[in-house]
Amino acid sequence: MKFTEKDRLCIPVPFYHCFGMVLSNMACMTHGATMVLPAEYFDPVSVMSAIEKERCTAVHGVPTMFVAELEHPDFSKYDFSSLRTGIMAGSPCPIEFMKKVSTLMNMKEVVITYGQTEASPGITMSSTDDTLLQRVSTVGRPMPHTEMKIVEPKTGKMVPRGETGEICARGYMIMRCYYNNPVATDQCVDKEGWLHTGDLGILDDDDYCKITGRLKDMVIRGGENIYPREIEEFLYTHPAISDVQVIGVPDKKYGEELMAWIKLKKGASASAEEIKAFCKGKIAHFKVPRYIKFVDDFPMTVSGKIQKFKMREASIAELGLEEAARMKTA
């Protein structure tokens, strides 16, 4: 972010989480930047007020926080002219939101950090020097002194550049272990020191990484591997959709079917048929969600991460798919 002692960072993310503790607080301490704490807990009005009043040059947040700010009815009343940069991280960052943050919030140098707590927490990061396309459509390149590889999950062999696989990282920042839990540690960090993230991604020829989804979120429908992230990115382009999460639900015939939980913009309306018609001819037919559910919110952790397993559990009950869920597969 090119922080100096002249920067003023608005920090609405929790301190017990690596985002607030490391990427926010420690980054300010090491560079002499001012820490601005808008409230005891996240509130979009408090954040926007603090940015204007304290003339913040940067703000951090998970995607759901930026959505709450951008779609607040009073958004246009606040002055964001002092903003320059900031980090969107913590969960997958939709390209459309990154573009809006860059323009509507004046964060022309906004960047993304990708990682997890086990990596203290950064593995890759984009730079203020990267192009807008690189900053909104990738999670940047591996950080200094960090090794990264993309592997085929079942075999552990590296895949060619441009192909999807599990992201693995190695370096000084990888945790030593899960405290008093050697079994869990061995499942996560192999004997050569590689952290197996459980995230799926692609590495291009210039070392920029794109996240395509979570290994456990991947949907296998009739033998086709489907990555929910791809469908979510497409649905974000629908003018009535504010937020969307795609999951897999059990199906007797295909093994799994796609379901989209959709949050509409305030005052907007849409039907399941309209959403499917929007998809037809633009994405592969097997990627069009069979089930559509309109919601006001998503189940999430207090740090803003969507809990897709809870969505799946609720959907199985609502759709009466318990019998399909009990089917055993090889």
Question: Which has the closest alpha carbon to 209: 196, 220, 194, 199?
Answer: 199
Last residue of a domain, one of 214, 238, 260: 214
Instruction: Give per-residue pLDDT as tens, 176-195.
Output: 999 999 999 999 999 999 99
Same domain (yes/no): 150, 133: no
- Give the pair of three-digit tokens for residue 47: 């954040």
Q: How many domains are contained in the chain?
A: 3
Q: Is 248 helix (H, G, I), strand (E, B) or coil?
A: strand
Handedness of CA 51, 12, 67, 139 (dihedral sign): positive
CA 131, CA 21: separation in Å to the nearest integer?
28
Range of the domain at 63: 8-141
- The pLDDT of residue 91: 80
Same domain (yes/no): 122, 243: no
Return the C-alpha torsion angle 204, 99, 307, 159, nearest 10.
-10
Spatial contact of 241 and 262, defined as CB atoms under 8 Å apart? yes
Intervals of the chain under pLDDT 50? 329-330
- The pLDDT of residue 35: 98
Residues pairing with 148 in the sheet: 169
For residue 250, give the CATH number of its domain.
Answer: 3.30.300.30
Same domain (yes/no): 239, 295: yes
- The pLDDT of residue 90: 84
Same domain (yes/no): 41, 133: yes
Asked whether residue 22 is domain-assigned, the answer is: yes
Q: Which residues contact 122 (CB under 8 A, 6 or more apart)?
A: 22, 23, 113, 114, 115, 143, 173
pTM of the model: 0.83
Same domain (yes/no): 18, 116: yes
- The pLDDT of residue 213: 86
Same domain (yes/no): 87, 38: yes
Same domain (yes/no): 130, 184: no
Last residue of a domain, one of 94, 119, 141: 141
What is the overall mean pLDDT for the chain? 94
Same domain (yes/no): 296, 257: yes
Q: Which residues contact 189 (CB under 8 A, 6 or more apart)?
A: 118, 174, 175, 177, 195, 196
- The pLDDT of residue 291: 98
Q: Is 98 helix (H, G, I), strand (E, B) or coil?
A: helix
How many helices (H) and strands (E) would you count in the chain? 11, 16
- The pLDDT of residue 328: 60
Last residue of a domain, one of 188, 214, 240: 214
For residue 158, give the CATH number of its domain.
Answer: 2.30.38.10
- The pLDDT of residue 93: 86
